[in-house]
């Protein structure tokens, strides 16, 4: 194509602004805006023809009807729309008027060019408005998952703003028993608190089976500090309601929807949560995390370390207990799905590793036992045997009936790598805790990321 000849033909169709003209030649040369391309072609044609140079008024352009003069105005509208929102990254999308897109096609066809040659109006608009927003808001474009997404609807004359969620990673300790991880609505009254006109007896009229949950003791604080509309709790598995979560805690991510603040001080945030939870739950190792951190905490294979209070049917000898725990230490255990587990879950026999088993007698019929095992290992059944469904087990190895009377989870660790991978954080990642599979000499293994038991 002879560029100057093509430009003369395009110009002959009626007044065309510099941007609309230049956009046809967008794949020629670099480091130029389309408006610069258009103006340069007009100037070159005028010199070539030895005619006076006549600039075109963008408002008169029959292709865009003046929209290409509005880059600054749209950028300023975007900045105003997020004036009270804190964000670091953004992206711009444009809904172009169908008429304008039709005009673009007609312009090219009239000059005998391919209807899709050069750049589409939408791309130029996204870029030209986009590059003006950064300096106005002290933020940068992100084509992946930005904090803020602007959608410019030109026909509707609106700027839509999507403020994407913010994420806070941390580890929680649940210091009291009978607290579920997430809210547990009462089925009897469908969380209304009433059956007919009477308060629900099942939940004492509260609508929930438990007064507190880890979620309710943590997520609202993060929502308030980040000034969001709602918050969701995502845990790396969950312990039984009656088990405490102590030691180095369990990883979680709290997602705050539509936050107006996102670069919050996580040390202060931890203090705020801990004050709010009043000793029922504690958090630490907080860090500002990425969108991908949710799938990370939910999906990473994790081993668990437990501390169990065990009661025996008959007195046990210290040496016999030590020998029985030695036999379980490093053992591969076969577990048929326990009775107490949700019956909707398929009943199958699973194989799980016991990485470490230690313990000592408190008195002849009571012991404190610590077990570090692969994800999915049922510890209560490892102790009791679950009527032969778990093999080997502590009760059969000892030849004495044994029952877990209280269970604490003392550590949750990534099987092959720590949860605290810097790739999932927006700032410096928290330090991973000690005591994971590597530290206890575990073999590499594959597990499914189920709830621990």
Q: Which parts of this chain interact with Zn ion (CB under 5 A)?
A: 17, 20, 61, 63-64, 68, 186, 188-189, 200, 202-203
Please identify, using beta-carbon distances, which residue of 188 and 406 lies nearer to Zn ion: 188
Minimum distance from residue 185 beta carbon to Zn ion (Å) = 8
Q: How far is the CB of 26 from Zn ion (least distance, A)?
A: 14
326 is catalytic: no
C-beta separation of 228 from 260 below 8 A: yes
* Smallest separation (angstroms) from Zn ion to the CB of 107: 9
- What is the 3-class SS of the chain, one letter each residue? CCHHHHHHHHHHCCCCCHHHHHHCCCCCCCCCCHHHHHHHHHHHHHHHHCCCCCCCCHHHCCCCCCHHHCHHHHHHHHHHHCCCCCCCEEEEEEECCHHHHHHHHHHHHHCCCCCCCCCCHHHHHHHHHHHHHHHHHCCEECCCCCCEEEEEECCCCEEEEEECCEEEEEEEEECCCCCCCCCCECCCCCCCCEECCEECCCCCCCCECCCCCHHHHHHHHHHHHCCCCEEEEEECCCCCCCCEEEEEEEEEEEEEECCCCCCCCHHHHHHHHHHHHCCCEEEEEEEEECCCHHHHHHHCCEEEEEEEEEEECCCCCHHHHHHHHHHHCCCEEEEECCCCCCCCCCCCEEEEEEEEEEEEEEECCEEEEEEEECCCCCHHHHHHCCCCCEECCHHHHHCCCEEEEEEEEEEEEECCCCCCCHHHECCCCCCCCCCCCCCCCCCCCCCCCCCCC
The CA distance from 370 to 329, in Å, is 10
Least distance in angstroms from the C-beta of 33 to Zn ion: 13
Q: Are 243 and 177 in contact (CB under 8 A)?
A: yes
Task: Specify the residue, 64 or 225, whose C-beta has the smaller distance to Zn ion.
Answer: 64
Query: Which member of 11, 18, 147, 240 is catalytic?
Result: 240
Cβ-based nearer residue to Zn ion, 127 or 232 = 127
The residue (of 200 and 402) whose beta carbon lies closer to Zn ion is: 200
Nearer to Zn ion, 66 or 135 (CB): 66
378 labeled binding residue: yes
Q: Distance (Å, rounded) from C-alpha 175 to C-alpha 249?
A: 10
Q: Which is nearer to Zn ion, 193 or 449 (CB)?
A: 193
CB of 35 to Zn ion, least distance (A): 9
The distance of closest approach from Cβ of residue 19 to Zn ion in the complex, given in angstroms and rounded to an integer, is: 5
- Min separation Cβ 99 and Zn ion, Å: 12
Closer residue to Zn ion, CB minimum distance, 191 or 261:
191
Q: What residues are annotated to the active site? A: 240
Binding site residues for substrate, as ranges?
306, 378
Q: Which residues does the annotation place in the binding site?
A: 306, 378
């Amino acid at each position: 194509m002879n560029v100057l000849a093509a430009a003369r033909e395009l110009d002959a169709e009626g007044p065309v602004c510099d941007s609309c003209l230049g956009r046809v030649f967008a794949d020629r040369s670099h480091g130029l805006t389309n408006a610069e391309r258009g103006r340069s072609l007009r100037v070159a044609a005028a010199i070539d023809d030895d005619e006076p140079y006549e600039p075109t008024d963008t408002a008169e352009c029959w292709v865009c009807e003046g929209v290409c003069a509005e880059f600054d105005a749209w950028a300023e509208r975007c900045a105003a729309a997020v004036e009270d929102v804190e964000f670091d990254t953004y992206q711009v999308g444009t809904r172009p008027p169908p008429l304008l897109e039709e005009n673009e096609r007609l312009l090219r066809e009239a000059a005998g060019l391919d209807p899709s040659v050069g750049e589409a109006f939408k791309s130029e608009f996204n870029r030209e408005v986009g590059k003006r927003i950064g300096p106005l808001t002290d933020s940068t474009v992100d084509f992946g998952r930005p904090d803020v997404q602007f959608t410019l609807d030109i026909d509707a004359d609106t700027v839509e703003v999507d403020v994407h969620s913010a994420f806070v990673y941390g580890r929680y300790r649940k210091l009291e028993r009978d607290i579920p991880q997430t809210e547990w609505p009462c089925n009897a009254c469908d969380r209304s608190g009433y059956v007919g006109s009477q308060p629900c007896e099942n939940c004492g009229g509260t609508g929930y089976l438990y007064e507190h949950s880890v979620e309710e003791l943590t997520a609202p604080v993060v929502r308030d500090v980040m000034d969001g509309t709602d918050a969701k709790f995502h845990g790396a598995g969950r312990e039984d309601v009656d088990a405490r979560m102590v030691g180095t805690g369990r990883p979680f991510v709290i997602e705050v929807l539509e936050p107006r603040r996102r670069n919050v001080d996580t040390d202060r945030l931890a203090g705020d949560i801990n004050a709010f939870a009043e000793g029922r739950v504690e958090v630490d190792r907080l860090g500002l995390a990425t969108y991908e951190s949710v799938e990370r905490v939910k999906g990473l294979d994790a081993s668990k370390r437990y501390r169990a209070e065990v009661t025996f049917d008959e007195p046990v000898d210290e040496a016999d207990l030590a020998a029985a725990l030695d036999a379980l230490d490093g053992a591969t255990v076969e577990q048929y799905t326990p009775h107490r587990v949700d019956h909707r879950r398929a009943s199958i026999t699973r194989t799980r590793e016991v990485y470490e088993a230690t313990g000592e007698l408190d008195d002849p019929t009571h012991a404190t036992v610590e077990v570090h095992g692969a994800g999915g290992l049922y510890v209560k059944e490892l102790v009791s045997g679950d009527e032969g469904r778990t093999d080997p087990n502590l009760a059969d190895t000892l030849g004495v009936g044994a029952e877990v009377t209280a269970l604490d989870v003392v550590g949750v660790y990534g099987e092959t790598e720590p949860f605290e991978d810097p790739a999932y954080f927006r700032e410096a990642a928290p330090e991973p805790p000690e005591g994971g599979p590597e530290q206890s000499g575990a073999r590499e293994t594959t597990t499914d990321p189920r709830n621990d038991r």
